Amino acid sequence: MMIPSPWRADFPAIAALQRQDQTYLDNAATTQKPQALLDALTHYYANGAANVHRAQHLPGAHATQAFEASRSKVAQWLNAGDSGQIIFTHGATSALNLLAYGLEHLFNPGDEIVISALEHHANLLPWQQLAQRRELKLVILPLDANGLIDLDAAAQLMGPQTRLLAVSQLSNVLGVWQPLPALLAMAKAHDALTVVDGAQGVVHGRHDVQALGCDFYVFSSHKLYGPDGLGVLFGRNEALKQLRHWQFGGEMVLDTDYLHARFRPAPLGFEAGTPPIAAVIGLGATLDYLTGLDQDAVNAHEAALHDYLLKGLEARNGIRLLGKPQLALASFVVEGVHNSDLAHLLTEQGIAVRAGHHCAMPLLKSFELAGAIRVSLALYNDSEDLERFFEALDQALELLR
Amino acid sequence: MSLPADAVTALEKFQNAAGWEQRARLLMQWGDRLPALNDVDKVDANRVHGCESQVWLVGALQDGHWQFAASSDARLIRGLVALLLARVNGLSAPELRQVDLPQWFNQLGLSRQLSPSRSNGLNAVLQRMNELASLP
């Protein structure tokens, strides 16, 4: 059965990679970019770059207009409505660090921060370090056999001492939607703040932050077919009131003398210094492109590809999947084969997949693994990409076994 | 400076290898021939960090000549390490300082294994060897 991608030609890098005999299946790390984004970047740089929110001149006005239009597009993409603000950061990691520093004043020794066992280092280390600074307890929600956060355990582990819950929507290793509604309800019952790491989740399907009801939602542009160096932090209005300013500098200040300052509210108060203007404009173009796609068709395509991937892996001997992936990716190890050897031979054959700990060392350790191979899909992948991967996998295993 | 005998053999084999498959087979053969490392040497102090696999490297000067021993739980990196040892074992300290190891892997047709994004650990092994060799 062939599964062609009707959107493949919209991403010029895919053809370029193919000319270099490379099959790109590392999309959970970063994605290729649509032509619409390349055009927007070229247009911006070719027609007059200018700084935003500063100058009264015409180029400045144009840049600011395009920049703020992107902010609206992101808000629409997440259906934020008037419920909150979109803050641009330099990545999902910097958005999570902004939260860990900007909310620090709310925590007292003995308070608890709750995360899960599957968190990416970006949603682990900022909280771990905050816990160390403030003598807090970091509570780790365990997973069940399918890679889902164990809700019974979560109910036991969360309580009045829980001040904040920070969890991923979709794991970058396990590829399973986490039971966010139940978890967020538990956190809210204890008046805890809620942070959702949407770095992987935002790429698959559409999400509604109002329906989700989280206080903060974080994602990175480059995984959503946008430019790198740009992250997005959605904050609900009430939650943003508790967020203190973190980084200080140009354009985030209302007025200052040498010794004192007053700062702007969100979003500009949290965007110190010149933001990644071109990247923000580029993300707007990417969102325009994505909005123009038939989302049901994209979902169906991704589901069919994922099914194809799982069936192919299951048809081979000795392959052990990590968890029970539902979408987007599959991580696996092969009995008796070191993942470093397998990665080496896949690389030799032009297969771009990820091997290693996937920035989730504690999770891999819980599987008693030093690493795994991850195949991750995007809307431009097709069944031929997967066929090339399977051929290379068979060749590699034949050599190694 | 003439090449050690093992290095001459390696060069001959690898330069005649056609394609990635044959190179991979050769690497695994070289890795399989690497003398086993004593279990007492497989300790954290001898671990080379920055590798996806576990790699251990020990080295000592014997009568003025370097003798390194190494191991890994992954086969291809073990082969790469074996090729490294084939080039450096038996050299004097001044000789070792003069060896261009990236160039050695380049001659073997394996330069890609040293690109900065490679996490297989060959870079880390080279760095560790330099550290060992520069100890007084």
* Domain boundaries, given as residue ranges, for chain A: 8-25+294-400, 38-291
The answer to whether A8-25+294-400 and A38-291 have equal CATH topology is no
Q: How many CB atoms lie within 10 A of CB B33?
A: 12
Domains and CATH numbers, chain B: 5-134 (3.90.1010.10)
Are residues B75 and A397 in contact, defined by beta-carbon separation less than 8 angstroms?
no
* Record: fold of A8-25+294-400: Aspartate Aminotransferase, domain 1 (3.90.1150)
DSSP A177: B
> With an 8 Å Cβ cutoff, are B73 and A338 in contact?
yes
Chain A residues with CB under 8 Å of a chain B CB are 338-341, 343-345, 348-349, 355-356, 370-371, 395, 399-400
**Identity of the residue numbered A266:** A
DSSP A105: G
Mean pLDDT, 10 residues at a time, chain A of 401 residues: 96 98 98 98 95 90 96 98 98 98 98 97 98 98 94 98 98 96 98 98 96 98 98 98 96 94 96 97 98 98 98 97 96 95 94 90 88 97 98 97 89
**Identity of the residue numbered A360:** A
Tell me how many residue pairs between chain A and chain B have CB atoms under 8 A apart: 45
Give tens-digit pLDDT for A75-127: 999 999 999 999 999 999 999 999 999 999 999 999 999 999 999 999 999 99
> With an 8 Å Cβ cutoff, are B76 and A395 in contact?
no
- The secondary structure of A274-320, three-state, reads CCCHHHHHHHHHHHHHHHCCCHHHHHHHHHHHHHHHHHHHHCCCCEE
Q: Is the ipTM of this complex over 0.95?
A: no
Could you tell me how far CA A20 lies from the centroid of its own chain? Answer: 28
Residues of A in contact with B23 (CB under 8 A): 348
Give tens-digit pLDDT for B57-86: 999 999 999 999 999 999 999 999 999 999
pLDDT given at position B1: 59
Q: How far apart are CA A367 and CA A365, in angstroms?
A: 5
Q: Which of B27, B34, B51, B126 is catalytic?
A: B51
Could you tell me how far CA A270 lies from the centroid of its own chain? Answer: 20
* Record: fold of A38-291: Aspartate Aminotransferase; domain 2 (3.40.640)
- The string over A229-256, giving b where at least 16 C-beta atoms fall within 10 Å of a residue's C-beta and e elsewhere, is bbbbbbbbeebbeebebbbeeebbbeee
Q: Place B118 in a pLDDT band, splitting at 50, 70 and 90.
A: low
Residue B53 has pLDDT above 90, yes or no: no
Of A313, A383, A331, nearest to A176 by C-alpha is A331
What is the nearest CA distance from B52 to chain A, expressed in angstroms? 6
**pLDDT, mean of residues B89-115:** 89
Residues of B in contact with A394 (CB under 8 A): none
